[in-house]
């Protein structure tokens, strides 16, 4: 906890510093928006050595009303509120989704046929581009040291009553996927959801997996069990995702941002703007053969092309990678770097600094107006993993927040 918070504070002060060097405007803007924050706990989930929980929690505690979300941070804690290290409970991912639900129909979220009916339940997606990645926020093991702050005067607008359909209410869903690796015979293998370690040959719905599927989410679904050293004993325990939301009441002085998430496995070709196939996970199938020591030859580099529907200014960027990841970037059509995000690996045992795990990702907070994506511009998305060993179930996501307007300086000078 102390580490995670320290990391956040550090990045935050760098951010403030960076913003304050070229002009004082940013700092004035900074003081313009009053925020509040609150700490919530997810419903309880219980894990024992090797076990997996992957649950969706509907109608979670969340600030209500017409607001701008400014920050969303999370970590796994136990019943006493003690932060749990990743080498005990690996936080594979958490995801936060927004939806509208009909007020006069009870329990829509818990009844599949009611929930699949658009007259009762409407997912409110981010702005693109993968159909299966509709979340507003979502990180994994890196969550403790990854800043999520949206700089002033921007915010993620939610709860606008003019947008909630009549008879509906806006709510939030949280998905938490956690793996208890205490006593695991192969901690990395369990976190990478290797099918042999879970003894899984069929998916959650009983469909046989293909023989070339070696690992990934299909093998570590809810209540699966990873292999634990024989005789290893440790108590099952109750855990929670503790999440901190910072927000401001919506006002005209806040500028809305769009959320875009890119997936390195997306096979979009640029020919048909709707053809997105985002597999979410991929693998490093073969370890490289080291023949010389010329440095970067054991790198698995993937690239694909991505596009956003409108032009805009990038105000935040971050990638999501798993262990083995060594960096990701978005480049403009002319090759300029839009954002580069590099994993921070832990070095010890302590919470927030667990060796072998990605405990944070570097983020981008471009100077206002300095990074613009042009109308119709095709970007290149790049994700690098070390290929010194094989990996299954790895990911390459890139989140950016994009604003279509720059702040109007005079507006803030007078406030």
Ligand X SMILES: *[C@@H]1O[C@H](CO)[C@@H](O)[C@H](O)[C@H]1NC(C)=O
Residues near ligand X, by CB under 6 A: 117, 119-120, 199, 296, 299, 301, 327-329, 340, 382, 384
Q: In angstroms, give the least distance from the CB of 34 to ligand X.
A: 37
Q: In angstroms, give the least distance from the CB of 396 to ligand X.
A: 11
Name every residue whose Cβ is closer than 8 Å to that of residue 401 and which is 6 or more positions away in sequence: 150, 154, 156, 257, 258, 259, 260, 314, 315, 316, 317
CB 196 within 8 A of CB 219: no
The nearer residue to ligand X, 117 or 244, going by C-beta atoms, is 117
The nearer residue to ligand X, 3 or 171, going by C-beta atoms, is 171
Taking alpha carbons only, the member of 364, 405, 361, 340 closest to residue 154 is 405
Q: In angstroms, give the least distance from the CB of 364 to ligand X.
A: 12
The nearer residue to ligand X, 351 or 395, going by C-beta atoms, is 395
C-alpha 318/C-alpha 323 separation (Å) is 16
Name every residue whose Cβ is closer than 8 Å to that of residue 65 and which is 6 or more positions away in sequence: 159, 249
> How far from chain centre, in Å, is Cα 233?
33
The nearer residue to ligand X, 62 or 385, going by C-beta atoms, is 385
> Cis link prior to 153 (omega < 30° from 0)?
yes
C-alpha 185/C-alpha 192 separation (Å) is 13
* Beta pairing partners, 341: 328
C-alpha 330/C-alpha 117 separation (Å) is 37
The nearer residue to ligand X, 42 or 120, going by C-beta atoms, is 120
C-alpha 197/C-alpha 131 separation (Å) is 31
Q: Give the side-chain half-sphere CA count within 13 A for 17.
A: 6
Q: In angstroms, give the least distance from the CB of 36 to ligand X.
A: 36
C-alpha 106/C-alpha 99 separation (Å) is 15
C-alpha 265/C-alpha 282 separation (Å) is 7
The nearer residue to ligand X, 126 or 384, going by C-beta atoms, is 384
C-alpha 255/C-alpha 411 separation (Å) is 12
Q: In angstroms, give the least distance from the CB of 126 to ligand X.
A: 23
Q: In angstroms, give the least distance from the CB of 245 to ligand X.
A: 30
Q: In angstroms, give the least distance from the CB of 378 to ligand X.
A: 18
Q: Listing from the earlier edge strand, what are the strands of the sheet with 325-331?
A: 299-306, 379-386, 325-331, 337-341
The nearer residue to ligand X, 174 or 328, going by C-beta atoms, is 328
Q: In angstroms, give the least distance from the CB of 44 to ligand X.
A: 27
Name every residue whose Cβ is closer than 8 Å to that of residue 111 and which is 6 or more positions away in sequence: none
The nearer residue to ligand X, 258 or 362, going by C-beta atoms, is 362
Q: In angstroms, give the least distance from the CB of 382 to ligand X.
A: 5
The nearer residue to ligand X, 118 or 370, going by C-beta atoms, is 118
The nearer residue to ligand X, 205 or 252, going by C-beta atoms, is 205
Residue nearest to ligand X (CB): 327
Q: In angstroms, give the least distance from the CB of 56 to ligand X.
A: 21
Q: Nearest-5° angle of CA 147, CA 152, CA 156?
A: 70
């Amino acid at each position: 906890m102390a580490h995670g918070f320290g990391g956040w504070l550090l990045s935050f002060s760098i951010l403030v510093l960076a913003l304050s060097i070229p002009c004082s405007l940013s700092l004035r803007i900074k003081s313009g928006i009053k925020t509040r924050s609150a700490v919530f706990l997810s419903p309880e989930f219980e894990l024992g050595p090797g076990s997996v929980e992957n649950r969706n929690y509907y109608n979670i505690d969340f600030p209500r009303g017409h607001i701008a979300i400014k920050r969303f941070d999370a970590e796994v804690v136990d019943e006493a509120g003690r932060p749990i290290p990743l080498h005990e409970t690996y936080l594979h991912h958490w995801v936060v989704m927004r939806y509208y639900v009909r007020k006069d129909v009870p329990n829509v979220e818990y009844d599949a046929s009611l929930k699949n009916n658009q007259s009762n339940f409407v997912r409110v997606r981010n702005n693109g581009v993968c159909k299966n990645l509709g979340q507003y926020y979502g990180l994994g093991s890196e969550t403790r040291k990854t800043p999520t702050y949206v700089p002033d005067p921007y915010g993620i607008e939610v709860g606008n009553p003019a947008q909630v359909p009549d008879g509906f209410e806006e709510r939030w869903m949280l998905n938490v996927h956690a793996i208890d690796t205490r006593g695991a015979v192969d901690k990395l293998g369990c976190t990478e959801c290797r099918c042999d370690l879970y003894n899984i040959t069929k998916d959650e719905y009983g469909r046989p997996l293909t023989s070339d599927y070696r690992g990934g989410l299909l093998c570590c679904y809810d209540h699966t069990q990873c292999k634990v050293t024989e005789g290893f004993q440790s108590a099952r325990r109750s855990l929670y995702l503790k999440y901190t939301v910072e927000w401001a009441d919506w006002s005209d002085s806040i500028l809305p941002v769009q959320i875009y998430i890119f997936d390195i496995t997306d096979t979009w070709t640029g020919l048909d703007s709707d053809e997105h196939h985002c597999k979410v996970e991929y693998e490093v199938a073969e370890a490289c053969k080291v023949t010389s020591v010329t440095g970067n030859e054991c790198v698995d580099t993937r690239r694909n092309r991505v596009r956003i529907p409108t032009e805009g200014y990038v105000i935040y960027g971050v990638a999501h990678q798993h262990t083995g990841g060594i960096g990701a970037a978005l480049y403009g059509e002319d090759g300029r770097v839009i954002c580069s995000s590099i994993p921070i690996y832990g070095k010890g045992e302590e919470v927030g600094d667990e060796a072998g795990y990605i405990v944070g990702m570097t983020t981008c907070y471009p100077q206002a107006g300095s990074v613009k994506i042009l109308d119709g511009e095709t970007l290149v998305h790049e994700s690098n993993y070390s290929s010194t060993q094989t990996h299954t179930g790895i990911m390459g996501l890139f989140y950016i927040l994009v604003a279509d307007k720059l702040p109007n300086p005079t507006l803030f000078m007078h406030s």
